Amino acid sequence: MHPKNIVFDLGGVLININYQRTIQAFQQLGFPNFEEMYSQFKANRLFEQLETGHISEETFYQTLIHSTQNAITRNQITVAWNAMLLNFRIPSLQFLEKLKPNYNIFLLSNTNIIHKRKFDSILQEQTGLNAIDPLFHKCYYSHLIGLRKPYREVYQFVLDDAGIQANETLFIDDSQPNIVAAQELGIHAHLLKDKEWVEESFDYLISS
């Protein structure tokens, strides 16, 4: 295909993620079944509400604090929740700069106010940039638009808001459920596998 538009996921595509670090950190705080609450492929109601902006940061903290008999603090929760966020893939970010003159490029990320604050900080430390937004024509963050992957509504929202067509759009994500949902709307989608970097696969993607 020869797309006019490319929609990128953030975690596992542009920034390295290790969900196991957050799972282990929460287990140490007194949540032995944390993986059932949140993982790469699912999120329970609390985390979905945080990632769609339907509850406040304070409600998120207080709910978790009262969900365990251990005495835990907001800061401990923040550190555990952010533990999954590692470092940005600098070559991938540089590749975006090469793509932008020739494609409409967008970011679609399931995220939340706590993570955004952290990955903005990581980005600044690595690159000096205050935010990733200028690298794209537009960024769509789940907690700001009130929708998250893998629900079909979020993909339709992006198509409508950006004024782009599904069959002219390539979506790149590292989670299979998100890929399937996009494909159901007619979006071309590629599952970025573990240790695969987008700039290394791009020529194949647009020629296949």
Write the pLDDT tens digit of every residue in 107-163: 999 999 999 999 999 999 999 999 999 999 999 999 999 999 999 999 999 999 999
Query: What residues does CATH 1.10.150.240 cover in the chain?
Result: 19-82
- Give tens-digit pLDDT for 26-63: 999 999 888 877 755 556 788 899 999 999 999 999 99
**CATH code of the domain occupying 5-16+88-207:** 3.40.50.1000
| Alpha-carbon span 201 to 10, nearest angstrom | 16
**pLDDT score of 111:** 97
**CATH code of the domain occupying 19-82:** 1.10.150.240
Assess whether pLDDT exceeds 90 at residue 10.
yes
Q: Across the chain, what does the average pLDDT equal? A: 93
114: Cβ contacts below 8 Å, ≥ 6 apart: 50, 57, 60, 78, 81, 82
**pLDDT score of 201:** 82
pTM: 0.93
Query: What residues does CATH 3.40.50.1000 cover in the chain?
Result: 5-16+88-207
**pLDDT score of 44:** 79
**pLDDT score of 21:** 96
